[in-house]
Amino acid sequence: MEKALLVEVKLKSDKTPVKESIEELEQLVTSAGAKVAGVLTQQKDATDIKFCIGKGKVEELKELCRTTEANIVIFNNELHPSQTRNLEEALGIKVLNRTELILDIFAQNAFSREGKLQVELAQNEYLLTHLTGHGIELSRLGGGIGTRGPGETQLELDRRIINTRITKLKKELEKVKISRETARQKRKSSNMVLISLVGYTNTGKSTLLNSLTAASVLTKDKLFATLDPVTRRLYLPSGKTVLLTDTVGFIRKLPHTLISAFRATLEETIQANLLLHVVDASSPYMEDQISAVYNVLEELGIVSKPIITVFNKTDKVTDKNYIEEMKQKYYPSAAISALNKEGLKDLISLLDEQFLSS
Ligand SMILES: Nc1nc2c(ncn2[C@@H]2O[C@H](COP(=O)(O)OP(=O)(O)OP(=O)(O)O)[C@@H](O)[C@H]2O)c(=O)[nH]1
Ligand SMILES: [Mg+2]
């Protein structure tokens, strides 16, 4: 198992408290299957051009790598390829940044053909935007494309290879999309209402789908357990049947390449008549997570769809007044425990009300 040292340079402009962002990075690291060996943070006005962290900190980091026997360093900041290279040369071990870590988790959790194609597309698009004149990053990330740099020729070659691969992946995805489109058209012609579960990763979307329908989607205390969308029928007391889709979760600073590569997966959400926004009410960072989800919805152009906010994991919340307060603030909303199947009746009635007029 890899032992990772986590590093974050906290800029004054970044409003997320360092405790919150490091806790999340730790979750990402364990979700990727690695162990956290230690944490190093630094407050700075601007990141260092050569190493991202200050030069003095590089020495500190080197020592920390030695004492903790870490074999990988993971930055929560976006690193320029040259910064990654400088750090790797100075430390003598592999350096990754947050986006690469998230891409790795996605790669591990992609099981369907479409999911795998989308992850590979995102990886290649990421590579394309992180090429330098050295071509080294390509070999560093594996995939066997190109080697350390004979300069421009190599770069152009790498660029060409990646572009060819991207075109091929997009074509493959188009094919998969056609069969999925047929299924969607069929659903559309049946005039059924589409509801999509959205929310921050690990808030309990899949658990809720399982509790509301007879689905058996994998649920895990890990980030990005679900990548492939799953749709199930849900029968409402009024006699109406709706289709409920569970899909990939969101996170703050979700890499743009992932959003664009996962457009097909998110198509269900884009087409939905209503969004059920599942929120982890037991998280101390709940409201930050809510706004991160809204940012992604905005990026997808669907923030104005009708949204019901579902406060989940209320079994872990002792302050019931707080839940009431939040329910008022994010009206219309429901408070549930998807795990213990509490509050589901109220949620279902709320859904029924939404569609009385339709
Ligand atoms: N205590 C408690 N835990 C819950 C509840 N709902 C879900 N969980 C737990 O939270 C973790 C994440 O649940 P999932 O349903 O996999 O969450 P998700 O939103 O689908 O997560 P991703 O697919 O990874 O984005 C699991 O360990 C669940 O058992 C709840 O109501 N109460
Ligand atoms: Mg899930």
Position 141 scores a pLDDT of 42
pLDDT of residue 358: 52
Per-residue pLDDT, 151: 45
Ligand 1 center–CA 305 separation, angstroms: 24
Ligand 1 in reach of 339 Cβ (< 6 A): yes
pLDDT digits over 291-326, tens only? 999 999 999 999 999 999 999 999 999 999 999 999
> pLDDT value at position 187?
76
What pLDDT is attached to residue 148? 33
In a domain, 183, yes or no: no
pLDDT digits (tens, 9 = 90+) for 214-228: 889 999 999 999 999
Q: Which residues have CB under 8 Å from 300's CB, separation 6+?
A: 259, 266, 269, 270
Percent of the chain past pLDDT 70, that is, above it, reads 92
Number of domains in the chain: 3
Whether residue 186 is contained in a domain is answered as no
Q: Is the CB of 223 under 6 A from ligand 1?
A: yes
Secondary structure (3-state) at 37: strand
How many angstroms from the chain centroid is the CA of residue 168? 24
Q: Cβ-count burial of 325 within 10 angstroms (0-12 exposed, 13-18 middle, 19+ buried)?
A: exposed
**Band of the pLDDT at 260, cuts 50, 70, 90?**
confident
Domain that residue 24 falls in:
3-104
Q: Quick check: 188 pLDDT over 80?
A: no
> Which pLDDT band, with edges at 50, 70 and 90, does 128 fall under?
confident
Shared domain for 229 and 322, answered yes or no, is yes
> Which ligand has the nearest atom to the CA of 210?
1
The CATH number of residue 76's host domain is: 3.40.50.11060
Regarding the beta carbon of 126 and ligand 1, being less than 6 Å apart is answered no
Query: Can you give the pLDDT at residue 176?
Result: 86
Query: Annotated binding residue at 45?
Result: no
Ligand 1, pocket-test mutation among 27, 208, 219, most atoms within 8 A of CB: 219
Average pLDDT over residues 21-33: 96
Strand 333-335 and strand 307-312: pairing? parallel
Domain for residue 187, yes or no? no
Domain check: are 210 and 79 in the same one? Answer: no
Ligand 1 atom nearest the C-alpha of 197 is 19
Based on the fold, state whether residues 39 and 148 are members of the same structural domain: no
pLDDT of residue 201: 97
**pLDDT (tens digit per residue) in 146-176:** 333 334 455 566 888 899 999 999 999 998 8
313 CA distance to ligand 1 middle (Å):
8
Residue ending a domain, among 50, 71, 104, is 104
Q: Give domain status of residue 184, yes or no.
A: no
Count of CB atoms situated within 10 Å of the CB of 195: 24
Distance 204 CA to ligand 1 centre (A): 3
Give the domain CATH number at 263: 3.40.50.300
Identify whether 128 is part of a domain.
yes
Q: Which of 104, 134, 154 is the last residue of a domain?
A: 104
Residue 312 Cβ inside 6 Å of ligand 1? The answer reads yes
CA 199 / ligand 1 centre spacing (Å) = 11
DSSP annotation of 338 reads T
Q: What is the pLDDT of residue 356?
A: 63
Does residue 177 lie in a domain region?
no
- Residue 85 CA: distances (Å) to CA of 40, 65, 108, 317: 19, 17, 25, 45
Segment 336-345 mean pLDDT: 98
Residue 155 is predicted with a pLDDT of 58
| CA distance to 19, 75, 92, 93, 279, per residue, from 58 (Å) | 21, 13, 12, 13, 38
Q: Is 247 in the pocket of ligand 1 (CB under 6 A)?
A: no
Q: How confident is the model at residue 181 (pLDDT cuts 50, 70, 90)?
A: confident
Mean pLDDT of 95-123: 92
Residue 185 lies in a domain: no
Q: What is the mean pLDDT of residues 39-60?
A: 95
Higher pLDDT, 154 or 21: 21
- Digit-coded pLDDT (tens) for 69-82: 999 999 999 999 99
User: Is 147 labeled as ligand-binding?
Assistant: no
Q: Does 339 lie in the same domain as 285? A: yes
Strand positions, DSSP E, the chain: 3-11, 35-44, 72-75, 94-97, 193-199, 230-235, 241-246, 274-280, 307-312, 333-335
Which residue minimizes the CA distance to atom 13 of ligand 1?
204
CA distances, 157 to each of 132, 150, 161, 278 (Å): 12, 11, 6, 45
Domain assignment present for 291? yes
Distance 356 CA to ligand 2 centre (A): 29
The predicted-structure confidence for 320-335, as pLDDT tens digits, reads as follows: 999 999 999 999 999 9
